[in-house]
Amino acid sequence: MNTPPLVSLIIITMNHEKFIKQACVSAISQTYPNYEIIFLDNASRDRTFENAEKVLSKFGQHYEMIRNTENFGVAKNINIAVSHASGEYISLLSGDDWYTEDSLSEKVSYIQKNPIDFILSDGYKYYQAEDKTTDAYTPKEKKHIIDSLDNFFHENVSENKTANVGTFVKRDLLVQYPFDESINTEDWDMNLRLTSKGFKIGFIDKKLFYYRILSTSLSRNWKLMKDSYEKVTYKYIDYIKADKELYKKYRLKLIHFKYEILLSETTSESEKQYLRKEWKKEKYRVKYKNPILFFKLLMLK
């Protein structure tokens, strides 16, 4: 009987003292028989490392624990962890998220049956503050992702439309094309980089992860998100500008960041009301070139 391929399950974490046990328990509870765990703690100031060690010490297979003495960005941490990994495949997990028990087995089965190089999947979003779980995608969103996989780069180059939790990728690709350490949205950047080079992405229509959303999540930091958005899209700006619809989406996204930042910087309700009106005007100027139609729609709103 052939030995199934080795998978390196990489956990990247920082100050996840309250959540790391759940992530680690999900990691050691996988039904897949042949995997290692590479754990990297990004200089946490709490008991994240100690709490993780208690759980991972119960793992019956190889695991390695790395503890940074200084703080690095997520992309650099993943690159470090990949350099310690021995698996044919890499599966990425943040210390505040967690996997279903069949996550690795489903991914290995899928990638071996299909001519693809890396995988995303369906899953859940868990809102910590509200203690609420929702689907990661609406049925419409998921159908669009699945139907447009062959055109993934074009569909995602002006805006990230996927929940990149539990990304599963051939290790050789991450060695040859490491994560860009200057970018915070490293997962979106990796998806575009690989698909732009012709590598194939797959999507498993099964719920294989839980994505924890915190009030401190990067997605709530509009300035950082704008910076990352501009850095990623700058790499493909000629491609974006060459397509009218893509360029329109790109401009609308920049307007979105502009006003979210301005709204986050004021507590005045009158100022917020004014900004929302200005946001609407700018948005419609980009969306509708016909001035008469533009003002009619604006009045309706």
Write out pLDDT tens, residues 243-292.
999 999 999 999 999 999 999 999 999 999 999 999 999 998 888 865 55
What confidence category does residue 298 fall into, taking pLDDT thresholds of 50, 70 and 90? low
Residue 17 near residue 49, CB atoms below 8 Å:
no
Q: How far apart are CA 255 and CA 78, in angstroms?
A: 31
* Phi then psi dihedrals of residue 65, to 5 deg: -115, 125
* pLDDT tens track for 287-297: 886 555 555 55
- Predicted local distance difference test score (pLDDT) of residue 179: 96
- Predicted local distance difference test score (pLDDT) of residue 148: 95
- Cα dihedral 272, 275, 281, 284 sign: negative
Please determine, for residue 196, whether its predicted confidence score (pLDDT) is greater than 80: yes
* pLDDT tens track for 38-86: 999 999 999 999 999 999 999 999 999 999 999 999 999 999 999 999 9
Give me the residue label for tokens 């397509």. 243
Cα distances from 22 to residues 14, 25, 97, 133, in angstroms, run 14, 5, 8, 15
- Predicted local distance difference test score (pLDDT) of residue 290: 59
Q: Torsion-angle region of residue 233: left (phi > 0), alpha (psi -120 to 50) or beta?
A: alpha
- Predicted local distance difference test score (pLDDT) of residue 221: 83
Mean pLDDT of 163-183: 95
Please determine, for residue 151, whether its predicted confidence score (pLDDT) is greater than 80: yes
Each domain of the chain, given as residue ranges in start order, spans: 7-217, 221-300
Other beta carbons within 10 Å of 135: 13
- Predicted local distance difference test score (pLDDT) of residue 1: 61
Please determine, for residue 218, whether its predicted confidence score (pLDDT) is greater than 80: no
Please determine, for residue 191, whether its predicted confidence score (pLDDT) is greater than 70: yes
Note the pTM of the prediction, 2 decimals: 0.90
The b-or-e profile of 169-190 (16+ CB within 10 A means b, else e) is: bbbebbeeebbbeebbbbbbbb
Does the domain made of 7-217 have the CATH classification 3.90.550.10?
Answer: yes
